[in-house]
Amino acid sequence: MKIQWKELQLSDRKLIESYYAKVPVHNCEFTFANNYLWKPFYPIFFSEVEGNLVFESGEGGMSVSFPQGTADLKRTVDRLTEWFSHVGRPFKMHLVSPSQFEKLEAVYPGRFQIEYDRDFADYVYEREKLKNLPGKDYHGKKNHCNKFKKLYPDWQYEEITPDNVTECIAMARAWWEQNNQGEGGEKEEEISVTLSALENMEALKLTGGLLRAGGRVVAFAVGEPCGQDMFVVHFEKAFADVEGAYSMINQQFVEHVMEGYTYVNREDDAGSEGLRKAKLSYHPVFLMEKGLVTQREDYAGSDEQAGNVREKEMDALELTKEMLAFIEESPTAFHAAANVERRLVEEGFLKLDYLEKEALAPGGKYYFMQNHSAILAVRIPKEGARGFRIAASHSDSPSFKVKETPEMKLEGRYVKLNTEKYGGMILNTWLDRPLSVAGRVIVKDRESGALTEKLVNIRKDLLVIPNVAIHFNREVNDGQKLNPQVDLLPLFAQDQEMTLKKLCAEQLGIAEEEILGSDLYVYNRDKGRIMGADGAFVGSPRLDDLQCAFATLKGFLQAGAEQYIAVYALFDNEEVGSSTKQGADSTILADLLDIVLDGISPAVNPLQKRALLQNSFLLSADNGHAVHPNHPEKSDPTNRPYLNGGVVLKFQGSQRYTTDGFSAAVVRDICKEHKIPVQNFANRADIAGGSTLGNISTAHVSIPSADIGLAQLAMHSAFETAGVQDTKAMAQLAKHFFA
């Protein structure tokens, strides 16, 4: 089936930008100027395919871009698949971001795979940090700027205009003469594109700035907006012999041009080691990954029935693998919240801290953090909302918290760490495992005096809690009570001068004395994995509750807010009762709901607010207990959830779980409509159960609620077991709940 591809022309700018405005994307390639300027070297054509914009390029052996627009994604990709088949080429989609691939997976579960290329990852920075260059991280950059100002007291910054652009062109040519080593290739292409950008700035709607020293132009930068909250810098050139010029043009361009933007995209490093080092030295807040999408060779799409089975298996398996990667990068609540924040930013969510209250708008996406260990996000419908749909989970898991001054020296031969229990743990599961330490440290900015937080994760097998040999404890298998202050202190080192603070400081590149405070935890270094003869089980640390946190986030990001205001809530400290400023037993959920209502409709009165809340619903998502294969008698006689049995509805007469007849019906109705498996849990009447987020949250925000979770074994062990299929069930429920 033919698709009419057109060569990109300047006259197409308005049409292309109209598509980019519909669904802003943070990839630096999703700007008209970038596509147009590079087309002489990477032939680019475009077409409107089933209502979406698609680019076609010979790069990578004929591939297409991710469809841009709001039309049906499946219709567009189906048409592209037919086109690839018609021209006799394999399906390829280039420069696809993780969030775009998630959208593709939602429509075609298990059909495609993606291979990310680190060389193409965009570096994304916080605009305020590039402007102000705060603290030790930017101390060297600030020194370069100050040196430039001192050496060139007559320096000037100017906007690039038709009156001075010819000077920038002359400077670019002089820069090329100085830096041309006869290499040709990509460097020659880059200078050609840079000159083209300067010559066509007005037509391409580019913005630029230049630096003068001694009256001559010594540096310039050119870029454009990329979505509402990001500005992308396409080109930045400075004479190497003008000390500090690169740092200065970077800082000045951000300060004068990017007011109102939250993020700065400085594009990729193209695999250049020197460029990579330079870009990392500015401390990106995240890297915008991009990869090549192809169809799986083992995808059984030719036979519809076999294909459906394969899709189901691959979708659940790939989602579980993605969850395991999320858990591995989330050794503490602080890291879990940071990982959620990164995914939200990739999806275009704006941090409420950067906004005034009146900036909230219909169709907006926002988030805020508390203590950097709890995070709440909200998506507002474009038109009136009937109420809130909230899914809550928690970021913390039972572990050992490192005490202040933790080093304990023993007999001049060992150093142990002094720790204490955090949450209800199965203590013996922490013995004889590779362990390490992660969390946050607090340092004081040398210049502003502000206290700032730095995440730390010592990624090595740092600790072990050794068992006592059976020869010294013959009764160990008859049952043993472990004393946390005696039996469970981790072995750290033999070097008597080694300290944990020193290790943290070395990793962060700071002096020990700069660390004024810390919240550090021991974590299990065992990697999560798929297990079982049939691959039915998943084993991992921290499944409780990062499995639910991950799955509900997936559903939240995939769903569109059409009738309800969607809220994703990740609380901290559930394992110790939630009674903290970042826990469910705080005001942060109520605060967020008030901020949203005041922001989008200041005239809402208390009665209207009450009506909205009564028409709202909370899903409290926290894992539950599966029937144990060795102890089935521990489970209730009739409410018996199993691994891979789907979402678990949790009931308790004392209302420590909030599910009642009405809220259970709401969940079951969604599950029935979308063929999501659901099962029930209740404790035996003679066994006291735990509690979770539902009743704590609804004590602050009075709305209907259901406690749900996923079935698992060995809850609160250092290594827990769950079902491969169940993460998918929770993600599906969340997606349709929010929709």
Q: What is the pLDDT of residues 426-442, one digit of tens each?
A: 999 999 999 999 999 99
What mean pLDDT is predicted for residues 102-109?
86
Residue 364's pLDDT band (boundaries 50, 70, 90)? confident
Residue 182's pLDDT band (boundaries 50, 70, 90)? low
716: left (phi over 0), alpha (psi -120 to 50) or beta: left
For 363, half-sphere exposure in the C-beta direction (CA atoms, 13 angstrom radius) is 6
Q: What is the pLDDT of residue 173?
A: 93
Residue 357 has pLDDT above 80, yes or no: no
For the chain, percent of residues with pLDDT exceeding 70: 95
For 309, half-sphere exposure in the C-beta direction (CA atoms, 13 angstrom radius) is 5
- Residue 114's nearest CA partner among 123, 102, 122 is 102
- Tens of pLDDT, residue by residue over 584-608, are 999 999 999 988 888 877 767 888 8
Alpha-carbon torsion 540, 545, 546, 547, what sign? positive
Q: What is the pLDDT of residue 30?
A: 84
Type and span of the H or E element at 85: helix 73-87
Residue 183's pLDDT band (boundaries 50, 70, 90)? low
Average pLDDT, the chain: 90
Q: Are 113 and 293 a contacting pair, CB within 8 Å?
A: yes
- Tens of pLDDT, residue by residue over 38-83, are 888 777 889 999 999 999 986 545 899 999 999 999 999 999 999 8
Q: What is the pLDDT of residue 181?
A: 61
Return all residues near 89 (Cβ < 8 A) that are at least 6 apart.
Answer: 61, 62
Residue 307 has pLDDT above 70, yes or no: no
Q: What is the pLDDT of residue 656?
A: 87
Q: What is the pLDDT of residue 687?
A: 84
Q: Does a cis peptide bond (omega within 30 degrees of 0) precede residue 545?
A: yes
- Tens of pLDDT, residue by residue over 516-536, are 999 999 999 999 999 999 999
Q: What is the largest CA-CA distance in the chain?
A: 89
End-to-end CA distance of the chain: 34
